[in-house]
Chains A and B, each alone.
Chain A
């Protein structure tokens, strides 16, 4: 793979296209962008028909070893790789270790192993088993095995140092096995940068990882809830300074729009898209505005509050009194399920007879065919269709946000986009 950068200005994000992806080197992925989050290859709740109501999908599907590991034997017998096993056509496959929306118990990592949790319990992975899995999955690219258990509040410096050391050791072992494996010819490996919340360790991890022949970098241990955005920004900035410009950077565990914006500014290219899934699971719909195409007359001038309000056609009644401001990621991992200011809670009684679409102007299947009142009914009656329709909308909305993000980076308008996105209002 090759990252063609169209634009790199420190502090304002990178814009480009990741080309030559996949075994056939035919696919590409725009950057900043996100991967398609799945459970064992299925976007949550969706079958192919419902998935393909979405017009713009990322060309890369993400699968996780936490879903796949327990099926190793089946895949080995199948022989033709996970993509074929799952009936996925014409998409690229990226294999990560953990599922960012399913935090797992800690304390099981050793010098030689990491653990994932499948439906039947804990599965311990050595590098050998990890690589055997990659050979069975046959992804287009994967992250190397890593120890990222540094996100807890009281992680000691010693523990952080260990995570950096172990991760580098795992990377070297993975690369060796990779180079000697015919099945993985053409498959790319991403190195994983660890270092907890300690800047020196982060820099060390970045420098050392960059020395290895990897195709790109995963930034780990920075997930939502592990630290506030200010620290995350600082650490990522320090890390990206040490990384080669022409290789992509994928940030794991971060998905909230405000956090995404901040991280793009300090050099992150790719994100996971588990955030729309989390929003769906709590019966909410993404509704934050990311439309920054302003009247050219007004561009560049500070807009008085009243004018902006009328532009957005806001309804004061929509302000959700239950939602709490979630600007700075000052939230523990346990609060991952808490509602953010970027969404509306469709279980709320106020939507009982609201016959508008979820988001006016959204072209997704849900907004074109259904109304808030219907979604409210489905949620109140615990109907499965709620998950299907909300996933469609939330995925579409999130993709729209990334599209706006790319436009904003291209036009040097990240600031404007951030102000729009952070307005804490519902439409």
Chain B
């Protein structure tokens, strides 16, 4: 499907950019992808997102849209086929709620696992486990957040499947397991098998190394 000049500014390791790439793929929208060097951001990025100066930024018909969840809603409204959000307003509210919950609760805890040491790290891991358990309740016994097929909340949350596995391996901690969170573990398997969802997940080993390097850098700063 012709994208009428759609361009995405992203970063390979950004889960937020991943969301947008998955959404564009689900809708079959053609677009130009520009990989940003976060240490040397392009003028297009700085102009496109002057408030936060962050990826992802979607450029369409000469306009820029930032904040990944805002971009997902935009994509869903402009390209109405294969809808991401359900039709019913209450279900839409639920989808938006879970997408936001992940950003507000899971992200800080998962970031804490990367950036903290010792007791603080234990605390972050505990919080991450708690929030993941809460997230499981959002599935409401279904296969995915969208019900029978992948929807808005799944696209918003899918990266967690990948990142949690990665952090468990990289830092040898337990965040999720079959016994404690069987439904969420099943969802993770489902999502990681989905051809669209997994297409843009960053190369696993590269991400593990990137995260370990980031941790070394940040925890060295802390202890100095």
Asked if A and B are interacting partners, one says no
Chain A positions within 8 Å of B, measured between CB atoms, are none
Chain B positions within 8 Å of A, measured between CB atoms, are none
